[in-house]
Homo-oligomer: A and B are copies of this chain.
Amino acid sequence: MNDSAPRIGVFDSGFGGLTVLRALLEQLPAAEFCYLGDSARLPYGSKSRETVARYAVESARLLESNGAQYLVIACNTASALALDAIRASVRVPVLGVIETGADSAAAVSVSRDVLVLATDATVRSHAYGAACAERGMRALEQACPLLVPLIEEGWTTANPDAERAAVTRRVLQLYLEEAAARARTAGLAPDTLLLGCTHYPLLRDMLGSLAPAGMRILDSAQTTARRVQRELGAMPPTTTPASATTGRCRFLATDSVEKFQSLGSRFLGQPIREVEHIDLGG
């Protein structure tokens, strides 16, 4: 444990935020992390703003009380529905992934029209629509509610049974066809596809073969990690006491630690050895 290392809390409803943690680990080699997955109450993507805000605020407070000096809300649904509520409930800086996602699209889109794939709750919030509008772009927000369960079941190209991956490919195709029809009706010409859910990077290869030629596929993980690095560079040195945990990353989960280990390792891209169970009372 290094007392001068920044301590970053990373929050997600479950496992998807581990794709963001992966980028943070690479980008901030000196930082220490505490990742909380609220796996007992996932998914957030089909639930109401009030419920998601309540869950996310409890989780953010727990990370702050565990010594986090900076919070990354590595969950699009929580970022879309609860960022203001989280910021109002903790004293440390809080970064969500919607703004960084919109930043990454703004950096590359030429047509200034962006297709955003996301959960039902994120789409209903129109958070991406607002973030894109602030950057002079138009967003076509497409809800893809079946992708999270398909990815969590492992029906991706990593599955040895190609027939299972073919189901996910078909579902993705149906969502993209729906989005294309809506884009035509709305007179939009998206040249950029933004992955508005941290699960979706696991479908990047499939998306690459299904999306129209020339469309750029982006997720917010890298942009988020660079933004954290930039902001932490400007932060004063830590004065809070060191936590009791050793190692560079501590993992907390509200449901089964075994499931977190097995499923989480796929998202992080490396084995997760130790997970602590935590009860948020819900």
Interface residues of A (CB under 8 A from B): 39-41, 46-48, 50-51, 145-146, 149-150, 152-153, 155, 163-164, 167, 170-171, 174, 254-256, 259, 280-282
CB distance from A27 to the nearest CB of B (A): 31
Contact B255 A48 (CB under 8 A): yes
**6 tightest A-B contacts by CB?**
A282-B282, A48-B256, A149-B149, A40-B51, A51-B255, A47-B255
- Whether the pair B153, A164 counts as a contact (CB closer than 8 A) is no
Q: A146-B150, A149-B146 are in contact. Are A259 and B174 (CB under 8 A)?
A: no
Nearest neighbor of A14 in chain B, beta-carbon distance: B46
What's the Cα separation between A114 and B164 when bound, in Å?
25
Complex-state Cα separation, A50 to B254, whole angstroms: 11
Measured in the bound complex, the distance between the Cα atoms of B280 and A195 in whole Å is 33
- Determine the distance from Cα of A146 to Cα of B41 in the docked complex, in whole angstroms: 18
Q: Could you tell me the distance in whole angstroms from the C-beta of A267 to the nearest C-beta in chain B?
A: 15
Q: Does A256 contact B51, Cβ atoms closer than 8 Å?
A: yes
Could you tell me the distance in whole angstroms from the C-beta of A229 to the nearest C-beta in chain B? 35
Question: Interface SS of chain A: helix, strand, loop or mixed?
Answer: loop
Beyond A167-B171, A282-B282, 17 additional contacts (C-beta under 8 Å) are A39-B47, A40-B41, A41-B41, A46-B152, A46-B259, A48-B259, A50-B256, A51-B254, A51-B255, A145-B149, A146-B150, A146-B153, A164-B174, A167-B167, A170-B170, A281-B281, A281-B282
Task: Find out whether the CB atom of B164 lies under 8 angstroms from the CB atom of A167.
Answer: no
By the criterion CB–CB under 8 Å, are A153 and B145 in contact?
yes
**Shortest Cβ distance from residue A123 to the other chain B in the assembled complex, whole angstroms:** 14
- Kindly list chain B residues whose C-beta atoms are within 8 Å of the C-beta of A41: 40-41, 282
Q: How far is the CB of A170 from chain B (nearest CB, A)?
A: 6
A150 to B167, CA, bound (A): 12
Contacts of A48 in B (CB 8 A): 40, 255-256, 259
Return the chain B residue nearest A277 by Cβ.
B50
Point out the residues of chain B lying under 8 angstroms from A174, CB to CB. Answer: 163-164, 167
Name the residue of chain B whose CB is nearest to the CB of A120: B153
The residue in chain B whose Cβ has the minimal distance to the Cβ of A149 is: B149
Listed A/B pairs (22) with beta-carbon separation below 8 Å = A39-B47, A40-B47, A41-B282, A46-B152, A46-B259, A47-B255, A47-B256, A48-B255, A48-B256, A50-B256, A51-B254, A51-B256, A146-B149, A146-B153, A146-B155, A163-B174, A167-B167, A167-B171, A167-B174, A170-B170, A280-B282, A281-B282
